[in-house]
Chain A
Amino acid sequence: MRKTLSIVSILIVASLVLAACGSTPAATGGNSAPVVETVIVEVTSSAPAVVAPAGYGVTLERSKARGNLVCGVNAQVPGFGYIDADGKYSGFDVDYCRALAAAIFGDADKVEFRPVTAAERFTALQSGEIDILSRNTTWSLARDTELGGNFIHTTFYDGQGMMVPTDSGITSLQDLEGGTICVQTGTTTELNLADVMASLGISYTPQVFEDADSTFGAYAEGRCDAVTTDKSGLVSRRTVLADPTAHVILDVTMSKEPLGPMVRHGDDQWFDIAQWTIFAMFDGEEFGITSANVDSVKSSAIAPEVMRLLGVEGDMGAKLGLSNDWAYNIFKLVGNYEEVYNRNLGPDTPTYIPRGLNSLYTDGGLLFAPPVR
């Protein structure tokens, strides 16, 4: 009897593992019956994926079946991705995901945010745990090719900076000779620091930490003479230091840091949707379409491009596999690029960062969307 029991239990364990392996980790929720269903779906859908690695449309289909978008974000950088006092996510990268959800579902709240560390983020994307990674991630050649993912168009142009305590008297990188610099692991920042210091011939000790909280925590304790990350990150983290005025960001830019979302290789439709979401936000700012006036613009639009964008004319949404009011939903529910920027990084926020390169091309910035036609 006991033996039969053990055999039965082995079979149960085996089938559970089968279920766990087959279904994507993201596809949780509901009772146990749908899990068994997912097994069948997954086995059949992953088999052709190997033969034809295109995997076209898989991600959209899956997130529609799930009913929401799973977005990997930062939880420790105010202004970009942060959990506020109410336990809600807010920030620029977070709003991008909300815009994507608005484009897909017509509901900006159909997003499940997963906080991922710098170290986990690519594995989380590769394994399908998240549908998109929107976590101030720098676009680089190695990452674009080796990590099984693609970067969509940059959403935020940044550069690496260095922050020091004001009373330290440090004004240039050269003053850091022999010093200790706090940096976060798994970032391009870590590599840039080594590159820049080597090219300037400055000897230093890197003190590397797992996440932003411990990096800036150790810096605040005086463990390091300076802390380095993207300038936007420095501005944002400075706001949560005990005395923000006691720290100064040096006037040096150590690298180019184009930050943007990343999607998995092999699903070009998903890539297009993610990319055109940010383009639509650029266009929104360019054409002056905001969450406040989108309805009146839609009803009174005469410019063909605006009409195509808002779905009044043509079938642009259908080309992306979305409904025709995808861009309308983005503006209505989240807003255009400028609105999102000002909400999170604008002059009225503690994490104010001047627009700089992140202005429309018409204002001397780099934001330039391809035509909607």
Chain B
Amino acid sequence: MQASPERKATIPFWRDERILNILGQVAFVIGLIFIGSLIYQNMKVGLATQGITLSYGFLKGISGFDISETLFSYSRTSSYWQAYLVGLLNTLSVSAVGIVVATILGVILGVARLSRNFLINRLAAFYLEFIRNLSLLVFLIFWYLAVFLKLPRVKEAIIWPGPIFWTNRGLGIPWGIPTASFPTFRLILFTGLILALCVFFTLRAYSNRTGRTPITLLWTGLTFVIVALVGWLILPEKPLTPDLPFVKGLNLSGGKILSPEFTALTSGLFLYTSAFIGEVVRAGIISVSRGQVEAARALGLNGFQTLRLIVLPQALRVIIPPLTSQYLNLIKNSSLAIAVGFPDMFYVSNTIQNQTGRAVEMISLVMLTYLTFSLITSVFMNWYNQRIKLVER
């Protein structure tokens, strides 16, 4: 103990690792602030020389341009702000569809990759390796230019299967038009949802009380579907009348028309991301040690039970964090929509930027929005991860 103060006194501070550590970090932070303020100053001076001031006021102005795909009513007299909102909703819808389909496809691929069936295994392996090693931009342009735009013209549309129209103007699928009884049906659906929730909580309480493990999600889902079906059948007037697509003049009409841009973008995104998710799922399943499966079998669980009760819960812990990154990637990659002419958020902001010349404002707004999307997604996934992770006692 006595020696230490002497030793301290003998070591000059520039050789004391603890002090150097702190100094290094302080220098780093100062450097970072310095660089940041330099960039900001440079931008401000640059803009001032051009007589341009930063302001978001222009967003209230009239946009003056039309957008091909909008989820709410928008016209050239709407504001820039509404145009941005159109893009934002388009990004969200593409991301939502992409994430759901990519997850389903990814899980199937991951399981198929581990299949003992040679053909399934090889096919899945080929798909994963092939898709994962492509550039997404190239992949999207391939889907747009080489697949969806190469479909026949409207006059020679392929009508298959059933009333589905495949043309280079879009994919026409049957859709429903709400009738007078639709509000009642909506009420029935709501009742079904409440009933399903009741089933969910009852089964969970039952499971906690007895230690048995009914397939909660299956029964919950089934309850909802049964209520919906019964409601559909007993209503005298059907709540939706089918609306089939047909050819009208230059374009398709009726039903729901999915534009080639939308289909190319979403299919490109989910096919690409599903390959990565497939690998994540495979890694998760492999991470559960063989002993776990053997022990489950020894206890008399069958194959499905083993998967549901033993393997999947443990695999999920490994799967969720990288899966989160894949979801984030998909959302961010949707900005490649600009390459295929789909009006997503980045595309619309680009148009606004061109028409107003407000580059700094629009780019920062877009960055902020993507950041918000990503943070919300990762907060949700972290919460889920927290719930399923191993509780160590």
Which residues from chain A sit less than 8 Å from chain B, CB to CB? 3, 6-7, 10-11, 13-14, 17-18, 21-22, 46, 49-50, 53, 55, 118-119, 122-123, 126-128, 142-143, 146-148, 168, 176-180, 185-187, 190-191, 193-195, 197-198, 204-210, 214, 217-218, 221-223, 225, 264-266
Identify the stretch in B95-103, B106-114, B181-189, B244-252 within 8 Å (CB) of chain A at 4 or more residues. B244-252
B contact residues around A198 at 8 Å (CB):
75-76
Known contacts A17-B39, A180-B68, A221-B150; 9 additional CB pairs below 8 A are A10-B27, A10-B31, A55-B49, A118-B354, A126-B359, A186-B353, A194-B65, A195-B76, A207-B341
A14 engages B351 (CB within 8 Å)? no
B contact residues around A194 at 8 Å (CB):
64-66, 76
List residues 25-75 of chain B with CB under 8 A from any CB of chain A.
27-28, 31, 34-35, 38-39, 42, 45-52, 64-68, 75
The closest CB in chain A to the CB of B17 belongs to A3
Q: Can you pick out 16 interface pairs between chain A and chain B where the beta carbons lie within 8 Å of each other?
A: A6-B24, A6-B28, A17-B35, A21-B42, A53-B49, A123-B359, A126-B359, A176-B250, A178-B249, A179-B250, A194-B66, A198-B75, A207-B261, A210-B341, A221-B145, A266-B51
B341 engages A49 (CB within 8 Å)? no
Asked if B168 CB lies within 8 Å of chain A CBs, one says: yes
A149 → chain B closest CB, angstroms: 8
Q: In the bound complex, what is the Cα–Cα distance between A221 and B145 (angstroms)?
A: 8
Where chain B touches its partner, the secondary structure class is helix
B contact residues around A143 at 8 Å (CB):
357
Interface hub of B21, B23, B42 (most chain A Cβ within 10 A) = B42
B65 engages A191 (CB within 8 Å)? yes
Of A46, A179, A187, A217, the residue contacting B251 (CB under 8 A) is: A179
Q: In the bound complex, what is the Cα–Cα distance between A50 and B261 (angstroms)?
A: 46
B24 engages A13 (CB within 8 Å)? no
With A50-B49, A53-B51, A208-B343 as given contacts, are A217 and B145 in contact (CB-CB < 8 Å)?
yes
- Interface size in chain B (residues, C-beta < 8 A): 52
Of B20, B23, B68, B145, the residue contacting A207 (CB under 8 A) is: B68
A contact residues around B338 at 8 Å (CB):
210
Interface hub of B47, B145, B168, B355 (most chain A Cβ within 10 A) = B355
B contact residues around A168 at 8 Å (CB):
250
Q: In the bound complex, what is the Cα–Cα distance between A180 and B353 (angstroms)?
A: 24
Asked if B381 CB lies within 8 Å of chain A CBs, one says: no
Of A18, A122, A146, A147, the residue contacting B38 (CB under 8 A) is: A18
A214 engages B35 (CB within 8 Å)? no
The closest CB in chain A to the CB of B48 belongs to A50
B67 → chain A closest CB, angstroms: 7
Q: In the bound complex, what is the Cα–Cα distance between A10 and B153 (angstroms)?
A: 59
The closest CB in chain A to the CB of B144 belongs to A218
Asked if B289 CB lies within 8 Å of chain A CBs, one says: no
B contact residues around A265 at 8 Å (CB):
50-51
A178 engages B356 (CB within 8 Å)? no
Interface hub of A204, A209, A221 (most chain B Cβ within 10 A) = A221
